[in-house]
Structure 1
Amino acid sequence: MGLVPVMLTGQPAHAESEVFADVSVRGVAAKRDVVESDEFDSTGYGADARLFYENDDERIRYWVDTSVGIFDYTDEGRSTRETFRGELGGAYQISETIELSLEIAHSENLVFVESLQADQKRGRLQGQWERDDDRVRVHAEYRHRSYDQEVEATGSGMRYSAEYNRRFGSYHWLRFRVFQDAIDSEDNRRDYNRISGAVDYSHPVTNLLRARANVDVRSWKFPGRTAQGDPDGDKRKDSYIAPEIGLDYGRQSGGIFGNLRLSYQLRTSNDERFTGDTPRVAAEVGYRF
């Protein structure tokens, strides 16, 4: 559950504020997933609650975004996950087309590419240019993670991203994204670096229903892990391409909302344990007050 983007449409004459709460339930069916050195069944179901407040005062806006969640895996070997996220953010409208924003956030009990469970603190600086139906965003983000393991360990690193969005109409847009990130840890099993790109498309079907399509491509390396079965004894390298289709229902203004995602992950690795394809189905239904 990420921050819902709020589009600035000119300079308001006075301060405007928005507050809402979400409650939702979700389910995932994915018979194969790979994190750290484990292959596991990530099928399960959960519930989430979110509270969001934003104040927009001419050139300055700021927000508070918090959420809690619980997810129960059907795999008896995995314990129920309880999560928390809190975020503070502010933005300054430099001109009619340029905005600069800063976010700080803390999250607990999340799954990351290098660990099944970790807490994270992050700070993010973002610049945005927007004119008519075109929008460009670039950001730099620092992450610090504390891993839940017997021997205490942390990891930290930067994430850089760029995004271009072309708007054709209400809920009708095409988006291109690229990012590069890395984590460096005293536990070298947690070290990784990754490059990713994605194309997203949204097309309205009715006033409340939108069709979605996405292709996500990722490649990452683990410099602290030797690939099992690699004839040259190289370090582990993974990559995947994941096409996805889906549906979104509802509006940001309130009421019932939901989404459905069907994807197929085609994964390759020089570690013989982690090459293989898998489908994934995810659904969420909720209500915004």
Structure 2
Amino acid sequence: MKSLLVALARLAVPLLALAAAPVHAGEVDVWLEAEGRAVHSDRAVVDGDSIEASGIGTSLDGGFSWTGGRTEVQFDLGAAVFDFTDEDRSTRTSLRAVASVAHEIVPDVTIAVAVGHWDDIITLEARETDQDAVGVSLAYESRPHRLRAEVQYLAREYAGAVPSTGEALRYEADYTYRFAAWTWARLDLRAEDVDSKDDLRGYERQTIRLSGSVPLDSARRWRLRPQVEWRGWTYDKRTVEATAIPREESYVAPEIGLAYGKTEGLKARLRAAYQFRTSNDPRYRRDAPYIDLAIGYRF
């Protein structure tokens, strides 16, 4: 994995050099978005990558991008606070910082390198995780098609009674077909392999997600957002109760969503999903609903 980091760093050098042109030679865009969020969830176990319990929260995200010719440099910063309904869980404060450089190497084909840090996020391995990541992606876009593939290296630190570390490789690919403005269908694929000094945190996981957007009014401000997601994972050392059999789990989560707003101004989204779980360990088979309402404003 260290060799992957070296390779990505070497790839980033020429892209950063391309981005070194004077700022006045390109276009600059700055944005800021504030959001409030309310979640109701009956999920009894951590699934990773999102808030898995009921509560309310707020977030503030900002960014800066410079585009010059065929090169774009972008910086993103974000902070979020989430207060859980469960009194046994403390309020979570998460931070995020990401920098990326993208360059169109030939018409319609873009290569990008990104580095980022996330502080106090939820992952499948732990409820308190700090993460550093470096990744490279390749994208092809020629309307109505967009195809993108990415590989990431993740270095993680887990808090808790017994702190530990871990690292992972994550492979992602997505394909989007755009029928018209704000009307599209998308397929996302992801595979990841996590290793840790704490054997109980290691696992392999796959994700398949199909989603879409369908405008409900002529101005396309209201949109229906259906989605269905499947995830399956196998733990390296976590076992079925009273056996030596590795735990294997999966879920299918159909979701219906309603979105309002466009690129700037008032934005809102309501998501309602139901998670159908399977597991070879009866303790982790509980199905559960999930409702998420977010209202924000992008300046």
Q: Same fold (TM over 0.5)?
A: yes
The counterpart of 2:238, out of the listed 225, 239, 248, is 225
The counterpart of 1:118, out of the listed 126, 129, 139, is 129
The counterpart of 1:86, out of the listed 94, 97, 120, is 97
Report the aligned-residue RMSD: 1.6
What is the rounded CA distance, in whole Å, between the counterparts of 1:41 and 1:59 in structure 2? 40
The counterpart of 1:167, out of the listed 171, 174, 178, is 178
What is the rounded CA distance, in whole Å, between the counterparts of 1:151 and 1:43 in structure 2? 26
2:281 aligned partner: 271
2:162 partner amino acid = V
State yes or no: 1:199 paired with 2:210.
Answer: yes
Structure 1 residue runs of 5 or longer lacking an equivalent are 1-13
Q: 1:74 to 1:41 in 2, by over 3 A?
A: farther
What is the rounded CA distance, in whole Å, between the counterparts of 1:41 and 1:249 in structure 2? 24
Alpha-carbon contact 2:46-2:52 (below 8 Å) kept: no
| Structure 1 moving runs of 4+ over 6 Å | none
User: After superposition, what is the alpha-carbon deviation per residue over 1:6-56, rounded to whole angstroms, capped at 9, x for unaligned?
Assistant: xxxxxxxx51111110111001000223128xxx97100000001111111
1:257 aligned partner: 267
Alpha-carbon contact 1:214-1:245 (below 8 Å) kept: yes
Alpha-carbon contact 2:44-2:286 (below 8 Å) kept: no
What is the rounded CA distance, in whole Å, between the counterparts of 1:33 and 1:284 in structure 2? 22
Higher helix content, 1 or 2: 2
1:224-243 to structure 2, matched below 5 A, reads 224-228=237-241, 233-243=244-254
What is the rounded CA distance, in whole Å, between the counterparts of 2:185 and 2:102 in structure 1? 24
Normalised TM-score (structure 2): 0.88
1:170 partner amino acid = A
Higher strand content, 1 or 2: 1
Structure 2 residue runs of 5 or longer lacking an equivalent are 1-24
What is the rounded CA distance, in whole Å, between the counterparts of 1:23 and 1:196 in structure 2? 29
The counterpart of 2:228, out of the listed 205, 211, 215, is 215
Alpha-carbon contact 1:41-1:75 (below 8 Å) kept: no
Could you tell me how far 1:122 is from its partner in structure 2? 0.5
2:34 partner amino acid = V
What is the rounded CA distance, in whole Å, between the counterparts of 1:106 and 1:33 in structure 2? 28
Could you tell me how far 1:236 is from its partner in structure 2? 0.8
Could you tell me how far 1:156 is from its partner in structure 2? 0.3
What is the rounded CA distance, in whole Å, between the counterparts of 2:238 and 2:52 in structure 1? 22
Normalised TM-score (structure 1): 0.91
What is the rounded CA distance, in whole Å, between the counterparts of 1:225 and 1:29 in structure 2? 28
Could you tell me how far 1:268 is from its partner in structure 2? 0.9
Q: 1:41 to 1:61 in 2, by over 3 A?
A: closer
Count residues with an aligned counterpart: 271
State yes or no: 1:183 paired with 2:181.
Answer: no
State yes or no: 1:288 paired with 2:282.
Answer: no
Could you tell me how far 1:151 is from its partner in structure 2? 2.5
The counterpart of 1:106, out of the listed 106, 117, 120, is 117
1:28 aligned partner: 39
2:4 aligned partner: none
